[in-house]
């Protein structure tokens, strides 16, 4: 550019480029002006336009829009031209354009929406979100992703999980949002860093089970980065017991004698006898407490004496109530009632108050157990009731009871059935377990007394065998003994 006495002049190359740009701009403006002229006349017949030709910008008309409003045709053309301009001298990759294309009725957030169009983000807002996602992806492949970003990316891929699992994801994400560890770049996290973070959680008062759940989300998130070849090794690939002491209390079953004392106390107590039937059922059916809370009138078949279990009732952290499918596919089952359980349900149904309006949750109504406000009871209600009952028992009796929860009732039922000699596969069905190892290893509790009882039985059998052999010339073999 040169300066002269007459004014400013541009060299030939710059002038040519400016003329080309003016032609491009003129073409786009011509498109937009023509589009704006045509919007109010769209769909009109040739006869109508001949009688009332469009000679200026007019408002309203076919789409009831102000004068000068262009259509989505112009918006998409402008967006395409803008993208082509960003390409500069590069050869346009139209496949990339289609992969990143999106649609909106608005170019800017302040643009008015056409009548009847569904509200949504403008093209500018969608483009900004796309840029944000591209930046995150760029950070991901370069290792600049933060721990929080990584966990959010991992969780976004977990579709179709249980609500309780989603709650666990939310808890982990919220912790990382508050913790400085969540802001660390994944490429900088070493095994020692991961261990120190775990120790910090424990020092802040978090228990072993809680931390185990958090690690159960963070560890596979880092494994995803390893599988994507972004990291060489997973910094959370270590035994949790090597870092912190397992202070979690193992769920136990109570003895038949403890169960009997507890039930007798509840039955005789003036305050808590209202819970007797429910507690008895929990000890003698083995339902998960969420399944128990979800029982409705339609689930109790008193004629056939069957309990239909096909859903559970949950209350989420945001206090929303939700009916979901059972914990596992095997949780859907029909449970037969014993005579005592049948009588408990008879009394429960007889005492149940019929509200003016049955509360409905996810198309389920007629819940058996409701609080004083007419809201279906959830696990928290029963946990509190059990805590109060055990506390009162221990205050009035010299021989104390251990902690008893609805889940302890389930463990106790499973152990009692196993010790009674029930077929393991039958017990697995009744418990609703998808894996029999859970039934036999986690829910059945055997101790010294059980082992002694089994040995005593074997001794008694051997005594009978010897007595029977005394009266016969030919010794009895094991096969003959079994037949007898």
Average pLDDT score over residue span 296-306? 95
| Whole-number Å distance between alpha carbons of 7 and 9 | 7
pLDDT at 167 over 80: yes
Start-end of H helices in 179-227 = 191-203, 208-227
- In this prediction, residue 445 carries a pLDDT of 53
Burial call 143-163: b when 16+ CB within 10 Å, e when fewer: eebbbbbbbbbbbeeeeeeee
More confident of the two residues 142 and 259: 259
pLDDT at 438 over 70: yes
Which pLDDT band holds residue 242 (cuts at 50, 70, 90)? confident
What does residue 102 show for φ and ψ, rounded to 5 degrees? Answer: -150, 165
- In this prediction, residue 370 carries a pLDDT of 92
Start-end of H helices in 7-71 = 12-38, 46-51
- In this prediction, residue 4 carries a pLDDT of 37
Residues with catalytic roles: 288, 327, 407, 410, 433, 443
- In this prediction, residue 293 carries a pLDDT of 95
What is the percentage of the chain residues whose pLDDT exceeds 70? Answer: 80
Of the listed ranges 105-114, 196-205, 288-297, the least confidently predicted one is: 105-114
Of the listed ranges 229-238, 327-336, 340-349, 462-471, the least confidently predicted one is: 462-471
Average pLDDT score over residue span 83-110? 64
More confident of the two residues 97 and 199: 199
Average pLDDT score over residue span 270-290? 95
- In this prediction, residue 59 carries a pLDDT of 81
pLDDT mean across residues, the chain: 82
For 433, half-sphere exposure in the C-beta direction (CA atoms, 13 angstrom radius) is 20
Question: In whole angstroms, how large is the CA radius of gyration of the chain?
Answer: 36
- In this prediction, residue 311 carries a pLDDT of 94
| Whole-number Å distance between alpha carbons of 479 and 465 | 12
pLDDT at 441 over 80: no
Average pLDDT score over residue span 111-135? 74
pLDDT (tens digit per residue) in 175-200: 999 999 999 999 899 999 999 999 99
pLDDT (tens digit per residue) in 30-46: 988 988 888 888 888 88
pTM: 0.56
3-state helix, strand, coil in the chain (%, to 5): 55, 5, 35
- In this prediction, residue 283 carries a pLDDT of 95
pLDDT (tens digit per residue) in 351-372: 998 888 889 998 899 999 999 8
Average pLDDT score over residue span 383-393? 96
pLDDT at 220 over 90: yes
- Extended strands (E) in 236-340: 300-301, 306-309, 312-315, 321-324, 333-336
Average pLDDT score over residue span 69-85? 78
pLDDT at 241 over 90: no
Average pLDDT score over residue span 309-319? 90
Instruction: Name, of 8-12, 291-295, 474-478, the range with top average pLDDT.
Output: 291-295
- In this prediction, residue 360 carries a pLDDT of 92
- In this prediction, residue 401 carries a pLDDT of 94
Average pLDDT score over residue span 193-209? 91
């Amino acid at each position: 550019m040169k300066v002269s006495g007459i004014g400013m002049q541009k060299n030939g190359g710059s002038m040519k480029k400016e003329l080309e740009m003016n032609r491009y701009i003129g073409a786009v403006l011509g498109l937009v002006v023509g589009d704006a002229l045509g919007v109010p006349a769209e769909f009109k017949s040739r006869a109508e336009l001949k009688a009332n030709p469009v000679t200026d910008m007019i408002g309203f008309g076919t789409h009831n829009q102000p004068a000068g409003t262009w259509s989505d045709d112009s918006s998409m053309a402008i967006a395409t031209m803008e993208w082509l301009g960003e390409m500069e001298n590069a050869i346009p990759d139209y496949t990339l354009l289609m992969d990143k294309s999106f649609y909106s009725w608005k170019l800017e957030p302040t643009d008015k929406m056409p009548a009847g169009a569904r509200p949504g983000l403008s093209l500018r807002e969608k483009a900004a979100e796309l840029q944000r996602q591209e930046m995150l992806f760029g950070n991901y492949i370069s290792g600049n992703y933060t721990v929080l970003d990584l966990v959010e990316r991992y969780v976004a891929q977990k579709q179709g999980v249980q609500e309780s699992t989603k709650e666990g994801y939310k808890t982990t994400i919220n912790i990382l949002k508050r913790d400085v560890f969540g802001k660390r770049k994944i490429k900088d996290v070493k095994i020692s860093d991961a261990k120190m973070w775990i120790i910090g959680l424990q020092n802040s008062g978090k228990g072993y089970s809680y931390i185990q759940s958090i690690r159960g989300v963070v560890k596979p998130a880092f494994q995803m980065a390893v599988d994507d070849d972004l990291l060489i090794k997973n910094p959370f690939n270590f035994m949790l017991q090597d870092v912190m002491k397992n202070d979690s209390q193992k769920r136990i079953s109570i003895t038949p004698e403890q169960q009997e004392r507890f039930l007798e106390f509840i039955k005789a107590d003036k305050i808590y006898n209202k819970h007797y039937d429910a507690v008895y059922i929990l000890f003698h059916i083995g339902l998960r407490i969420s399944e128990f809370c979800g029982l409705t009138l339609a689930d109790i078949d008193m004629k056939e004496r069957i309990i239909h279990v096909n859903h559970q009732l949950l209350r989420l952290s945001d206090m929303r109530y939700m009916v979901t499918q059972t914990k596992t596919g095997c949780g859907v089952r029909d449970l037969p009632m014993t005579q005592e359980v049948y009588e408990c349900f008879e009394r429960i149904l007889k005492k149940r108050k019929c509200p003016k309006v049955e509360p409905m949750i996810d198309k389920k109504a007629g819940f058996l157990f409701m609080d004083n406000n007419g809201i279906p009871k959830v696990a928290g209600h029963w946990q509190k009731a059990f805590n109060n009952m055990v506390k009162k028992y221990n205050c009035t009796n010299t021989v104390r009871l251990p902690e008893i929860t609805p889940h302890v009732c389930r463990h106790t039922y499973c152990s009692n059935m196993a010790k009674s000699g029930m077929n393991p596969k039958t017990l697995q069905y009744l418990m609703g377990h998808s894996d029999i190892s859970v039934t036999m290893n986690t829910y059945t509790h055997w101790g010294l007394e059980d082992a002694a009882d089994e040995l005593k039985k074997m001794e008694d059998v051997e005594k009978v065998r010897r007595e029977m052999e005394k009266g016969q010339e030919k010794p009895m073999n094991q096969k003959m003994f079994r037949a007898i």
